Amino acid sequence: MSPLITSAELAELAALDGASVLDVRFRLGGPPGIGLYDEGHIPGAVYCDVDTDLAAPPGRLGRHPLPSAEDFQRAMRRLGVSGNRPVVVYDDAGGMSAARAWWALRYFGHQDVRVLDGGLAAWAGPLSKERPQVAEGDFTAVPGGMPLLDADEAAALATRGVLLDARAAERYRGEVEPVDPVAGHVPGAVSAPTTENVSADGTFLAAAELRRRFAALGVTDGVEAGAYCGSGVTAAHEVLALEIAGLPAALYVGSWSNWVADPARPVATG
Quick: pLDDT tens for 127-179: 999 999 999 999 999 999 999 999 999 999 999 999 999 999 999 999 999 99
Report the chain's mean pLDDT, rounded to a whole number.
96
- Known catalytic membership, residue 229: yes
Half-sphere exposure (CA, 13 Å, Cβ side) for 32? 10
pLDDT tens-digit profile of 235-247? 999 999 999 999 9
Q: Is the pLDDT of residue 60 over 90?
A: yes
pLDDT tens-digit profile of 244-262? 999 999 999 999 999 999 9
**Domains, the chain:** 4-122 (3.40.250.10), 148-259 (3.40.250.10)
Find the catalytic residue in 48, 81, 116, 229. Answer: 229
For the chain, percent of residues with pLDDT exceeding 90: 95
User: What amino acid occupies position 83?
Assistant: G
Query: Which of 142, 65, 58, 70 shows the shortest CA–CA distance to 105?
Result: 142
Q: With contact defined as beta carbons under 8 Å apart, do 63 and 177 qualify?
A: no
What lies within 8 Å, CB to CB, of 17 at 6+ separation is 44
Half-sphere exposure (CA, 13 Å, Cβ side) for 270? 3
pTM of the model as a whole: 0.97
Burial class from Cβ neighbours inside 10 Å (0-12, 13-18, 19+) for residue 30 reads exposed
Phi, psi of 94 (to 5 degrees): 70, 20
**pLDDT at 31 (0 to 100):** 76
